[in-house]
Each structure stands twice: as structure tokens, then as C-alpha cells.
Amino acid sequence: MFSLFSNKLFLQRQQHLSAIREELAGRWDLSRTFTLPGEGEGNVLIELINRIFSRLHLFVVELTKGNVATATVAPLTQAIAGQVRRSSESLAREVEQIEATCRSLATDIGTSADSAGQALEQSAVIVDAIDQTSQLTGQALQRMQSMEQEVARLSVAIGELDQRSRSIGTIIESISDIADHTGLLSLNAFIEAARAKEHGAGFGVIAQEIRQLSQESARSAQEVKALLLDISALIQQTVTAVDRVQEEVVTGLEGNRMASASLDQVSAKHRQFHHHLTSVIGAVSSQKQAVGQLAGDLATIATIGQEGRKDSVRLAELADRIKQLTDQQLQATGIFILPQYRKAEQAVLALAALPAICQLGVDTDQTLEQGMLPLGYLELVYLTDTNGLQISSNVLRSGQAITRDATARGKDWSRRDWFRKVRETGRPYISELYKSAATDTFCLTIAVPVYRGEAWVGVLGADINFEHLLTI
């Protein structure tokens, strides 16, 4: 009896060991815990395998999470690198344009500085000319003032001369009157001498002489008077001319004063302009220096931009390489079946056991939608018949919403592994990791058989977001 029991236990242990070897030869289900009936050396080995699976499970989960995080960051890094590269290229173009503008500006500033320098030199010459003109104007003003004084004195002297000439005329008038009176007296004396005959002959001669002298005196007085009148006329002409000269001198003096004042204003304005021009030249020189410094800074920026562009290219290449490596690692770890897979499998089996699904009725889409809603890691669910033809819509998750795509009805999935495995084994099937072309994310497919009682009526497939699955 003991021998039969021992043989039976031995056969059971052998069967368990064969099952364990078969399972270890395929995909490792890290959710499994292996056991052997009875006691023996094999139990120690099984315990070691369980410990290895436990530690491997923790390692694979952490590694997978790290790979998923890295794979998620890699596209962002590529996008950032692309943005940096585009920004660097745009910066390089902008810097080139600014450099060209700076060169043109430097040329223009140089030309402006040269023109301003020439203008400053000309302005200095003008300032000197204005100073000389101001000095000459001042000298002319002094001469005009002296001339005004001289003309005033001349006018006074001519006035005195005219007054004396008039006084002489008065005296001449008196002399002429005396001569006329003397002539009358001599005529009377001559008449009286004639009456006296020989007694008045001598007196008559004297009277005749006196008469002739008085006549000559009268003629001389008239001649002197005529000369005085001519002199007086000339004096009046001279007075008139002096008055005109005085008016001209006054007008010239006033004009000279106005010209001097205007010249002073021009001198002040031009000196102010000269000062501003000096300031402008200083500012232009500073601007030219600043533009030169800006050009140097732009050259540095351009160099940095070129280095940034090269770095962005290297960063993009590195991000692409990291993405490739993480994808490879994720696909490599996809051979393991994690406990999360089994949890998702149980959720899909529960969904497949709902009456509306088993009956393949008209409420299938609504039931799939309601069942999918709380399971955030499900991205897509669909139902086929036993021939692999899809009889439901694609019920898919879009953000926080659940939508349906009825165009998927009638698709033939009979050649797909997930359908064939379920049809051949009658058991749930968990695919290895694959990358979705639609979402560029890692997914896996869980397909489970759908039974109505004991009859197999179809397959329920679910595409699962691997990143979200790791959170359950």
C-alpha cells in the first residue's frame, strides 16, 4: 500500500515537474507560484524558482516602468531637440540678417561720422568767419559812431558859418545903406558947390570924389552881397547834404546795429549748433563702438547658435537611440506575463461573461461601452463570432470619452494569432507587447472565449494600453 502511494506521489511530482519545465520553456508567467506535492529535493528547487520569479517580477515591473517613462520622455526630447534645432536655425537666420543690418548700419554710421566730421570742420570755419565778421562789424559800428559824431560837429560848424554869413550880410546891408546915403549927401554937396561957383569949385571936386567912392562902395557892397548870397546858397546845399549824410549815417548806424545784433544771434545759434554737432559726433562715435560690440556679440551668438544646432542634432539622435533601446527592452520584457496581465485578463473574462455579450444581441455595443468605462487601461474592445468575423462595433477610448466605430463590423480576424489561439486552445490568450501604429504606444491584446452555457459562441478581444496597465 505504501509502495502504491509512493509511486502515485512520484508520478504526481513528475507530472508537476513536466508542467513546470513546459511552462518555463515558453513565456514566463511571473504571476505563477509553482508547487510540488510531497517532500523532496525538488521542493527546494521549486522554492528557489518561486523566489527567482518573485524577484524577477519586481525587477521586470520596475524595469518596464522605467522603460515606459523613458520611452515617453524620448519623443518629448526629440520634439524639444527639433524645436531647439529649428529655433537655432531661425536664430542663425535672424543673426545673419542682424549682422547684415549691423554692417550696413556701421557703414552708414561711418559715413555719417565722416560727414559730421566734415560738417564740424566747416562749422569751425564758419564760427571763425562769424567771429571775424563780428569784429569787423564792431569796428564798422565804431567808425559809423565816430562818423556820426563828426557829421554832428560839421553840422554845428556849418550852422555857425551860416549864422556868421547872415551877420556879414546884415553888415553889408548897412554899408550899402551908408553908401547910398553918402551918395545922396555928396550929390547935395555937389549941387551946393555948383551954386557957389568958383567959391565951391574945390568942394565940388571933393563932393564928386565922395560920390564916386560911395557908388563904388555900393557896387562893392552889392558884389559882396551877391557873393554872400552864393555862399549862403552853398551853405544851404552843404547843410542839406550834411543832413542827408547824417540821415544816412543814422540809418547805416541803425542797420549796422541790427546787423551786429543779428550776427550775434547767428553766432549764438551757430555756436549752439556747433556744440550739438560735437555732441552728435560723440554720440555717433559711441554708437559706432556699440554697433561694433553688437556685431561681436552677434558673432558669439551665431557661434552659440551653431553649437546649439549641432547639440540639438546630437540630442535628437541620442533621443532616437534611447527610444530604440527602450522599445527593444520593452519588447524583450514583453515575453514575461506580469500579474497585471492576469488582472486585466480576469476583467475581460468578467466582461465576456455578461449576458448581453453571451447572447450576441443588439445591446452588445452598449454593454461593451459600459463595461469598458471603469477600466481605464482598456483602449479598444470588440467581439467576433466563431468564424472570426467582427459582430460588434469598435468600442474605443478617446481621452475621457468612449466612442463607437460601426465601420469595423464584418472585419475578418480569423487569421490573427489572438483569434486562432483562443479557438485552438479554448483558453484566454495574452499577446506579447507590440507598438500601436495608431497611437505610437505599447499595447498588448487579451482575447478570451465567449461561452453561452457550454457552447463557444465567439471571442472577445481587448487592446490594452501597457503604460496604464502598469498602474493597476
Q: Is residue 278 scored above 70 in pLDDT?
A: yes
409 φ, ψ (degrees, to nearest 5): -60, 135
C-alpha–C-alpha distance, residues 223 and 221, integer Å: 5
**Tally of CB atoms within 10 A around 130:** 19
Please write the tens of the pLDDT for every residue from 408-428: 999 999 999 999 999 999 999
Which CATH number is correct for 338-472, 3.30.450.20, 2.40.160.210, 3.40.930.10, 2.60.40.10?
Answer: 3.30.450.20
Nearby residues of 444 by Cβ (< 8 Å), 6 or more positions away: 334, 341, 430, 431, 432, 433, 434, 463, 464, 466, 469
Q: What's the confidence (pLDDT) of residue 59?
A: 78
Q: What's the confidence (pLDDT) of residue 447?
A: 97
Please write the tens of the pLDDT for every residue from 79-106: 777 777 777 777 777 777 777 777 777 6
Q: pTM, whole model, 2 decimals?
A: 0.51
CATH (residue range 134-286): 1.10.287.950
Please write the tens of the pLDDT for every residue from 238-261: 778 777 777 776 777 677 677 677
Q: 197 falls in which pLDDT band (50, 70, 90)?
A: low
Q: Are 401 and 395 in contact (CB under 8 A)?
A: no
Mean of all residue pLDDT scores within the chain:
78
Q: What's the confidence (pLDDT) of residue 263?
A: 67
Nearby residues of 414 by Cβ (< 8 Å), 6 or more positions away: 387, 388, 389, 420
Q: Is residue 152 scored above 80 in pLDDT?
A: no
User: Which residue did the predictor score with more confidence, 330 or 222?
Assistant: 222
Domain boundaries, the chain: 134-286, 338-472
Bridge partners of residue 458, in order along the sequence: 450
User: Which residue did the predictor score with more confidence, 30 or 270?
Assistant: 30
Closest CA to 281 of 49, 112, 65: 112
Q: What's the confidence (pLDDT) of residue 417?
A: 93
